Amino acid sequence: MSVTLNSIDELADNFELLGDWESRFGYLIDLGKELPPMDAADQSEVNRVHGCQAQVWMKLRPEAAGRITIVADSDAFIVKGLIAVLLIIYSGKTAKEILAIDCQVLLDQLQLAAHLSPTRKNGLFAMVQRVRELAQAIQVEATE
Amino acid sequence: MSAISDGIRDDFPALTQEINGHPLVYFDNAATTQKPRAVLDAIQNYYEHDNANVHRGIHELSNRATAAYEGTRDRVAQFINAPVHEDIIFTRGTTEAINLVAATWGTVNLGAGDVILLTELEHHSNLVPWQLLAQRTGAKLRFIPVTGDEGTLDLSDFDGQLEGAKLVSLTHISNALGTINPVAEICAQAKAAGAVTLVDAAQSAGHMPLDVQALGCDFLALSGHKLCGPTGIGALFARRELQEAMPPYQGGGEMISKVEFHKSEFNVPPHKFEAGTPNVAGAAGLHAALDYLDAIGLDAIHAHDTELAHYAKERLSGFEGVRIFGPTEDRGGLVSFIFENVHALDLATLADQQGVAIRIGHHCTQPLHEKLGVPATARVSFYFYNTRSEVDRFIEVLQKVINLLR
Ligand SMILES: Cc1ncc(COP(=O)(O)O)c(C=O)c1O
């Protein structure tokens, strides 16, 4: 299955089609494997997202017209898959758009939560939190 | 073949459930064990018939509650062959037992430059309390090294390491690697060098026969929840002579004999160390757990656990790219491992989807994992209600998971 996705709706449709846990996780893992690599130099303590049981690094890169590219990586495949989902939700948007998104609603749409343990949900929440904090910082900088 | 029949599983209500549509395979027993019906009934029964506060009432229920609580003290003493029941102090578990020793014995007996000798295998519970004590008193920590993935202690310089040591505190069985340490030998040598000894028996109590007199230790800590008992109750064995000279731990009711506005006189040990209303229901459950385990037999339990661990280790070694930790000989009932290029977190998440509960992480032994050079390991840990066919099921699930991840 193609893993180039443009919208969360498309992702939700694909998840819907894949009925059982095995294909859903398989799909998530494939999404993670296709994640653009992050420079080893960026996998540093400043970019570390704490609160997840695996190691996660994340960085926001401002592009033209106020758009933001998210670069992130993890040493665990399922976490990489979750990062890929967050990228679909957030990457390429402006700081203002990012801050306006209610991520919970979108994640509920994917019914991912049913498969995630509370600790894992905390990890996912920590990543969402970091995206928002970094976007906030960029927005503040832009308006100063 | 194990002497313990699979039928014993019927005693454990929690084991009969399905998780994500699959029969539960519970391999996280080193974290906590499941509870047999006998323990659940004892707690229920206590609250239904005997519930009252202890040591203070004249009425019948208080007498019964006191009898239940003090009866468990006798039972724990018998279980670990303590000379007298006064040697047993009830605590919330191993962690509190160790903290109690650090706060009481440690505060009056350790000073600047004194050495606390630990091992690199220790659970954070047998490390952080000593770090805190060292900060307060100026004592120093020293560590008996482990040999690497084998996880056995390197005792070649033990004599040298005992130099200046006031306390030797070590785990009986490593919760991270399964190593069974030669505790009796270590205690004997430590004692000869004039050091006091503490054994962290969180992983050995209820898993093998324990005899504090044969071990020759001064203190021993255990948790009820790791041996079929309820959470929130555990015990500290503390030799009476040491207890006499220890200051109180916490202040409050129960631990005093006479209180004035500006000063108090304290109760006799062990009550002096048990401030406040204790966990009486927990004690009732613990009593039932010890009876239950003794009826099966600790030798049979130990043989069963280790047999499963050896079988799991053998099956795991059939995988490509697996790294297995822990000793070949003298292994407790658990196996830790990692796979090349596969994160333990992914393994455990996918195993859980198929009803197999395993533990991943640093297992509260972060410095040990640092030394082994792995951020996290996966661990399967067994108890007498686990079966060979569950190990087979785990291996089958693991194969599926690895295929999905590679
Ligand atoms: C070796 C060891 N020591 C201490 C503890 C702490 O026990 P508790 O959390 O019951 O106080 C554990 C339990 O995880 C353990 O495995």
A103 is catalytic: no
Q: Are B360 and B378 in contact (CB under 8 A)?
A: yes
DSSP state of B297: -
Q: What is the pTM of this model?
A: 0.92
DSSP string, B312-327: HHHHHTTSTTEEEES-
User: Distance (Å, rounded) from C-alpha B64 to C-alpha B284?
Assistant: 11
First to last CA, chain A: 45
User: Distance (Å, rounded) from C-alpha B65 to C-alpha B57?
Assistant: 10
Alpha-carbon distances, residue A66 vs A70, A87, A98, B277, B316 (angstroms): 13, 16, 11, 62, 52
- Phi first, then psi, for residue B180 (nearest 5°) are -100, 115
Query: Does the Cβ of B28 fall within 6 Å of ligand 1?
Result: no
Q: Span A8-143: which CATH code?
A: 3.90.1010.10
User: pLDDT by residue (tens digit) across A68-91?
Assistant: 999 999 999 989 999 999 998 898
Bond into B129 cis (ω within 30): no
Count CB neighbours of B261 within 10 A: 5
Q: In 3D, which of B298, B289, B249 has the Cα closest to residue B269?
A: B249
The ranges assigned to domains in chain A are: 8-143
The amino acid at A71: V
User: pLDDT by residue (tens digit) across B277-294?
Assistant: 999 999 999 999 999 999
User: pLDDT by residue (tens digit) across B9-34?
Assistant: 999 999 999 998 999 999 999 999 99
Chain-chain contact of B345 with A29 (C-beta, under 8 angstroms): no
Q: Are A50 and A40 in contact (CB under 8 A)?
A: no
User: Distance (Å, rounded) from C-alpha B351 to C-alpha B358?
Assistant: 8
Coil, helix or strand at residue B31? coil
User: pLDDT by residue (tens digit) across B144-169?
Assistant: 999 999 999 999 999 999 999 999 99
Name the pLDDT band for B58 (thresholds 50, 70, 90). Answer: confident
Interface test with A, best of B18, B338, B345, B401 (most A CBs within 10 A): B345
Chain-chain contact of B352 with A25 (C-beta, under 8 angstroms): no
The amino acid at A101: I
Q: Which residue has the higher pLDDT, A118 or B23?
A: B23
* ipTM here: 0.82
Q: In the structure encoding, which two tokens stand for residue A103, read together?
A: 């991520």
Q: Which domains does chain B have, with CATH numbers?
A: 6-31+298-405 (3.90.1150.10), 39-295 (3.40.640.10)
- A124 CB near a chain B CB, below 8 Å? no
Helix locations, A71-117, DSSP H: 77-90, 95-100, 103-110
